Amino acid sequence: MDPFATFVNDFVRSMDIAKKAQLGGYAPCARPQLPPNARKALIFSPHPDDECIVGGVALRLLREAKMNVINVAVTQGSNKARQAARLAELQGACNYLGFGLIQVCEGGLEKINPKGRASAPDNWAAAVRTITAILRREKPSVVLFPHEADWNTTHMGVHDLVFDALGTLGTELDCYVVENEFWAPLANPNLMVEISAADLIDLITATSFHVGEVERNPYHLGLPAWMRDNVRRGGELVGGQGGAVPEFPFAALYRLRKWQGGAIQSVLDAGRIVNDKENVAVLFPA
Protein backbone atom coordinates (compact mmCIF):
# COMPACT_ATOMS: atom_id res chain seq x y z
CA MET A 1 0.00 0.00 0.00
CA ASP A 2 1.12 3.57 -0.69
CA PRO A 3 2.69 4.74 2.63
CA PHE A 4 1.01 8.10 2.25
CA ALA A 5 -2.35 6.35 1.99
CA THR A 6 -1.57 4.61 5.28
CA PHE A 7 -0.57 7.94 6.80
CA VAL A 8 -3.81 9.70 5.78
CA ASN A 9 -6.10 6.77 6.53
CA ASP A 10 -4.55 6.29 9.98
CA PHE A 11 -5.14 9.99 10.64
CA VAL A 12 -8.82 9.66 9.70
CA ARG A 13 -9.21 6.55 11.86
CA SER A 14 -7.54 8.28 14.80
CA MET A 15 -9.96 11.20 14.49
CA ASP A 16 -12.92 8.81 14.45
CA ILE A 17 -11.66 7.05 17.58
CA ALA A 18 -10.97 10.33 19.39
CA LYS A 19 -14.49 11.62 18.64
CA LYS A 20 -15.82 8.79 20.84
CA ALA A 21 -13.59 9.63 23.81
CA GLN A 22 -15.00 10.77 27.13
CA LEU A 23 -15.32 14.54 27.49
CA GLY A 24 -14.00 15.85 30.78
CA GLY A 25 -14.15 13.99 34.06
CA TYR A 26 -10.46 13.02 34.12
CA ALA A 27 -8.34 13.03 37.29
CA PRO A 28 -6.13 16.15 37.55
CA CYS A 29 -2.55 16.07 36.35
CA ALA A 30 0.18 15.97 38.97
CA ARG A 31 0.92 19.60 39.90
CA PRO A 32 4.53 20.46 40.72
CA GLN A 33 5.37 21.74 44.18
CA LEU A 34 5.73 25.50 43.87
CA PRO A 35 7.95 27.60 46.11
CA PRO A 36 6.10 29.94 48.50
CA ASN A 37 7.37 32.95 46.56
CA ALA A 38 6.65 31.50 43.11
CA ARG A 39 6.46 34.06 40.34
CA LYS A 40 3.07 34.39 38.67
CA ALA A 41 1.98 34.08 35.06
CA LEU A 42 -1.51 35.35 34.20
CA ILE A 43 -3.39 34.11 31.12
CA PHE A 44 -5.99 36.70 30.12
CA SER A 45 -8.49 34.49 28.31
CA PRO A 46 -11.15 36.01 26.05
CA HIS A 47 -13.36 32.91 26.48
CA PRO A 48 -13.39 29.75 28.57
CA ASP A 49 -11.24 27.25 26.61
CA ASP A 50 -8.56 29.73 25.47
CA GLU A 51 -6.49 28.79 28.51
CA CYS A 52 -6.13 25.30 26.98
CA ILE A 53 -5.84 26.17 23.30
CA VAL A 54 -3.00 28.69 23.66
CA GLY A 55 -1.67 27.46 26.99
CA GLY A 56 1.29 25.43 25.77
CA VAL A 57 3.94 27.83 27.02
CA ALA A 58 1.92 28.44 30.19
CA LEU A 59 1.87 24.72 30.96
CA ARG A 60 5.63 24.63 30.50
CA LEU A 61 5.99 27.67 32.79
CA LEU A 62 4.13 25.75 35.49
CA ARG A 63 5.97 22.48 35.05
CA GLU A 64 9.49 23.69 34.25
CA ALA A 65 9.82 27.22 35.61
CA LYS A 66 7.61 26.44 38.64
CA MET A 67 5.58 29.58 38.08
CA ASN A 68 2.12 29.93 39.56
CA VAL A 69 -0.02 30.00 36.40
CA ILE A 70 -3.43 31.62 36.83
CA ASN A 71 -6.13 31.93 34.21
CA VAL A 72 -8.10 35.19 34.26
CA ALA A 73 -11.58 34.58 32.83
CA VAL A 74 -12.15 37.93 31.15
CA THR A 75 -15.52 36.84 29.74
CA GLN A 76 -17.68 33.76 30.11
CA GLY A 77 -18.98 33.94 26.55
CA SER A 78 -21.80 36.01 25.08
CA ASN A 79 -24.54 33.40 25.62
CA LYS A 80 -25.86 34.28 29.06
CA ALA A 81 -27.71 30.98 29.33
CA ARG A 82 -24.35 29.17 29.06
CA GLN A 83 -22.22 31.41 31.29
CA ALA A 84 -22.65 29.45 34.52
CA ALA A 85 -22.01 26.15 32.76
CA ARG A 86 -18.99 27.58 30.97
CA LEU A 87 -17.54 28.71 34.29
CA ALA A 88 -18.00 25.21 35.72
CA GLU A 89 -16.34 23.70 32.64
CA LEU A 90 -13.50 26.20 32.97
CA GLN A 91 -12.98 25.29 36.61
CA GLY A 92 -12.67 21.64 35.60
CA ALA A 93 -10.16 22.41 32.84
CA CYS A 94 -8.00 24.62 35.06
CA ASN A 95 -8.10 22.09 37.88
CA TYR A 96 -7.02 19.36 35.48
CA LEU A 97 -3.98 21.35 34.26
CA GLY A 98 -3.07 22.77 37.67
CA PHE A 99 -3.86 26.38 36.75
CA GLY A 100 -5.38 28.81 39.22
CA LEU A 101 -8.49 30.71 38.19
CA ILE A 102 -9.69 34.27 38.66
CA GLN A 103 -13.29 35.12 37.76
CA VAL A 104 -13.15 38.85 37.08
CA CYS A 105 -16.81 39.36 38.01
CA GLU A 106 -20.17 37.56 38.02
CA GLY A 107 -20.81 36.42 34.46
CA GLY A 108 -17.59 37.97 33.16
CA LEU A 109 -17.02 41.33 31.49
CA GLU A 110 -19.29 42.50 28.67
CA LYS A 111 -18.68 44.36 25.40
CA ILE A 112 -14.97 43.55 25.37
CA ASN A 113 -14.34 44.25 21.70
CA PRO A 114 -13.15 47.16 19.55
CA LYS A 115 -16.72 48.39 19.01
CA GLY A 116 -17.42 48.34 22.75
CA ARG A 117 -14.21 50.21 23.42
CA ALA A 118 -15.31 53.01 21.06
CA SER A 119 -19.06 53.14 21.72
CA ALA A 120 -19.35 52.35 25.45
CA PRO A 121 -16.48 54.29 27.07
CA ASP A 122 -17.86 54.06 30.62
CA ASN A 123 -18.19 50.28 30.45
CA TRP A 124 -14.72 50.06 28.92
CA ALA A 125 -13.18 52.29 31.60
CA ALA A 126 -14.74 50.11 34.31
CA ALA A 127 -13.32 46.99 32.63
CA VAL A 128 -9.85 48.60 32.47
CA ARG A 129 -10.09 49.38 36.19
CA THR A 130 -11.00 45.74 36.89
CA ILE A 131 -8.01 44.37 34.96
CA THR A 132 -5.70 47.04 36.40
CA ALA A 133 -6.71 45.99 39.91
CA ILE A 134 -5.95 42.33 39.13
CA LEU A 135 -2.53 43.23 37.73
CA ARG A 136 -1.77 45.45 40.70
CA ARG A 137 -2.81 42.78 43.20
CA GLU A 138 -1.18 39.76 41.53
CA LYS A 139 2.03 41.48 40.32
CA PRO A 140 2.65 38.92 37.55
CA SER A 141 6.06 38.31 36.02
CA VAL A 142 4.40 37.16 32.78
CA VAL A 143 1.09 38.06 31.13
CA LEU A 144 -0.35 36.15 28.18
CA PHE A 145 -3.14 37.39 25.90
CA PRO A 146 -4.10 37.46 22.19
CA HIS A 147 -2.32 39.56 19.60
CA GLU A 148 -3.95 42.67 18.20
CA ALA A 149 -5.26 41.07 14.98
CA ASP A 150 -6.52 37.70 16.24
CA TRP A 151 -9.72 38.11 14.13
CA ASN A 152 -12.29 37.28 16.81
CA THR A 153 -13.54 40.62 18.15
CA THR A 154 -13.36 39.52 21.80
CA HIS A 155 -9.79 38.34 21.31
CA MET A 156 -8.88 41.73 19.85
CA GLY A 157 -10.78 43.42 22.67
CA VAL A 158 -8.84 41.54 25.33
CA HIS A 159 -5.60 42.60 23.66
CA ASP A 160 -6.63 46.26 23.88
CA LEU A 161 -7.99 45.83 27.40
CA VAL A 162 -4.77 44.40 28.84
CA PHE A 163 -2.63 47.00 27.11
CA ASP A 164 -4.89 49.78 28.41
CA ALA A 165 -4.53 48.36 31.92
CA LEU A 166 -0.75 48.18 31.58
CA GLY A 167 -0.78 51.77 30.37
CA THR A 168 -2.76 52.75 33.46
CA LEU A 169 -0.14 51.12 35.68
CA GLY A 170 2.70 52.75 33.76
CA THR A 171 5.98 52.21 35.59
CA GLU A 172 4.26 50.52 38.52
CA LEU A 173 4.64 47.07 36.94
CA ASP A 174 7.34 45.39 34.87
CA CYS A 175 6.38 42.08 33.28
CA TYR A 176 6.97 39.94 30.23
CA VAL A 177 4.25 40.12 27.59
CA VAL A 178 3.47 36.98 25.57
CA GLU A 179 0.96 37.50 22.77
CA ASN A 180 -0.65 34.36 21.40
CA GLU A 181 -2.60 33.38 18.30
CA PHE A 182 -5.56 31.20 17.48
CA TRP A 183 -8.15 32.67 15.12
CA ALA A 184 -5.61 34.53 13.00
CA PRO A 185 -1.88 33.80 12.79
CA LEU A 186 0.69 36.22 14.11
CA ALA A 187 2.29 38.08 11.23
CA ASN A 188 5.54 38.49 13.16
CA PRO A 189 6.03 35.83 15.84
CA ASN A 190 9.46 35.84 17.44
CA LEU A 191 9.14 32.75 19.62
CA MET A 192 8.45 29.11 18.80
CA VAL A 193 8.01 26.78 21.76
CA GLU A 194 8.03 23.04 21.30
CA ILE A 195 5.01 21.30 22.80
CA SER A 196 5.81 17.73 23.75
CA ALA A 197 3.37 14.94 22.92
CA ALA A 198 2.71 14.51 26.65
CA ASP A 199 1.88 18.19 27.13
CA LEU A 200 -0.30 18.23 24.01
CA ILE A 201 -2.26 15.24 25.31
CA ASP A 202 -2.90 17.16 28.52
CA LEU A 203 -4.00 20.29 26.64
CA ILE A 204 -6.44 18.28 24.50
CA THR A 205 -7.77 16.47 27.56
CA ALA A 206 -8.23 19.78 29.38
CA THR A 207 -10.05 21.25 26.38
CA SER A 208 -12.45 18.30 26.48
CA PHE A 209 -13.72 19.60 29.84
CA HIS A 210 -15.42 22.38 27.84
CA VAL A 211 -18.12 19.86 27.01
CA GLY A 212 -20.79 22.22 25.74
CA GLU A 213 -18.38 23.77 23.26
CA VAL A 214 -16.61 20.69 21.90
CA GLU A 215 -19.89 18.81 21.50
CA ARG A 216 -20.90 21.58 19.12
CA ASN A 217 -17.52 21.65 17.38
CA PRO A 218 -14.81 19.11 18.32
CA TYR A 219 -12.02 21.63 17.82
CA HIS A 220 -9.91 19.99 20.51
CA LEU A 221 -9.16 17.24 18.00
CA GLY A 222 -7.63 19.77 15.63
CA LEU A 223 -4.91 20.85 18.05
CA PRO A 224 -2.30 18.28 16.89
CA ALA A 225 -2.65 19.28 13.22
CA TRP A 226 -2.53 22.99 14.11
CA MET A 227 0.55 22.58 16.30
CA ARG A 228 2.18 20.47 13.62
CA ASP A 229 1.61 23.23 11.08
CA ASN A 230 3.09 25.72 13.55
CA VAL A 231 6.41 23.88 13.18
CA ARG A 232 6.25 24.45 9.43
CA ARG A 233 5.39 28.13 9.81
CA GLY A 234 7.67 28.82 12.73
CA GLY A 235 10.69 27.19 11.17
CA GLU A 236 10.93 30.16 8.80
CA LEU A 237 8.84 32.91 10.45
CA VAL A 238 10.84 32.59 13.67
CA GLY A 239 13.97 30.80 12.47
CA GLY A 240 14.44 32.88 9.33
CA GLN A 241 13.43 32.49 5.71
CA GLY A 242 15.02 29.41 4.20
CA GLY A 243 16.07 28.14 7.62
CA ALA A 244 16.02 24.51 8.66
CA VAL A 245 12.73 23.40 10.18
CA PRO A 246 13.17 21.81 13.64
CA GLU A 247 12.52 18.10 13.82
CA PHE A 248 10.15 18.23 16.77
CA PRO A 249 6.51 17.36 15.99
CA PHE A 250 4.47 20.11 17.69
CA ALA A 251 4.91 23.79 18.55
CA ALA A 252 3.13 26.98 19.50
CA LEU A 253 4.02 30.43 18.20
CA TYR A 254 4.11 33.60 20.26
CA ARG A 255 5.41 37.17 20.30
CA LEU A 256 7.55 37.82 23.36
CA ARG A 257 8.21 41.36 24.59
CA LYS A 258 8.37 43.14 27.94
CA TRP A 259 6.39 45.90 29.59
CA GLN A 260 9.09 47.91 31.33
CA GLY A 261 9.41 51.53 32.33
CA GLY A 262 5.84 52.21 31.29
CA ALA A 263 6.28 51.06 27.68
CA ILE A 264 6.53 47.91 25.60
CA GLN A 265 10.12 46.86 24.93
CA SER A 266 11.82 44.27 22.72
CA VAL A 267 13.68 41.50 24.50
CA LEU A 268 14.81 39.29 21.62
CA ASP A 269 17.31 40.41 18.98
CA ALA A 270 16.18 37.60 16.69
CA GLY A 271 13.63 34.81 16.61
CA ARG A 272 14.00 32.22 19.36
CA ILE A 273 13.18 28.52 19.16
CA VAL A 274 12.92 26.57 22.42
CA ASN A 275 12.77 22.79 22.31
CA ASP A 276 11.38 20.58 25.06
CA LYS A 277 14.85 19.84 26.48
CA GLU A 278 15.40 23.51 27.40
CA ASN A 279 13.67 25.02 30.43
CA VAL A 280 11.42 27.87 29.24
CA ALA A 281 12.46 29.78 32.36
CA VAL A 282 15.48 30.99 30.34
CA LEU A 283 13.11 33.25 28.41
CA PHE A 284 11.90 35.05 31.54
CA PRO A 285 14.85 36.02 33.74
CA ALA A 286 13.85 37.81 36.93
pLDDT digits 0-9 by tens, 122-148:
999 999 999 999 999 999 999 999 999
CA distance 69 to 62: 6
Whole-angstrom Cα distance, residue 185 to residue 88? 29
Give pLDDT, residue 97.
Answer: 98
Contact (Cβ atoms closer than 8 angstroms) between residue 172 and residue 137: no
Confidence of residue 244 (pLDDT cuts 50, 70, 90): confident
Average confidence score pLDDT of the chain: 97
**Average of pLDDT values for 273-279?**
97
Q: By the 8 A CB rule, do 60 and 199 touch?
A: yes
Distance of CA 280 to the CA centre of its chain: 15
Q: Is the pLDDT of residue 226 over 80?
A: yes
For residue range 203-221, list pLDDT tens digits in order: 999 999 999 999 999 999 9
What is the predicted pLDDT for the residue at 243?
A: 82
Alpha helices by DSSP H, the chain: 3-19, 50-53, 56-63, 80-97, 114-119, 121-138, 153-169, 197-207, 211-216, 223-237
Domain boundaries, the chain: 35-283
For 283, what's the count of Cα atoms within 13 Å in the CB-facing half-sphere?
Answer: 32
pLDDT-based confidence at residue 233 (cuts at 50, 70, 90): very high
Percent of the chain with pLDDT over 70: 100
pTM: 0.96
pLDDT (average), residues 89-114:
98
**Does the pLDDT value for residue 1 go beyond 80?**
no
Nearest alpha-carbon partner for 76 in 66, 86, 89: 86
DSSP 8-state symbol, 182: S
The pLDDT value recorded for residue 137 is 98
Q: At what angle do helices 197-207 and 80-97 cross, to 10 degrees?
A: 150
CA dihedral (41, 46, 51, 54) positive or negative: negative
Q: What band does 99 get if pLDDT is binned at 50, 70 and 90?
A: very high
Going by their DSSP bridges, the two strands 263-266 and 251-260 should be labelled as antiparallel
**pLDDT tens per residue across span 62-96:** 999 999 999 999 999 999 999 999 999 999 999 99
Domain at 35-283: CATH architecture = 3-Layer(aba) Sandwich (3.40)
What share of the chain in percent tops pLDDT 90? 99
Mean pLDDT calculated for residue range 156-179: 98
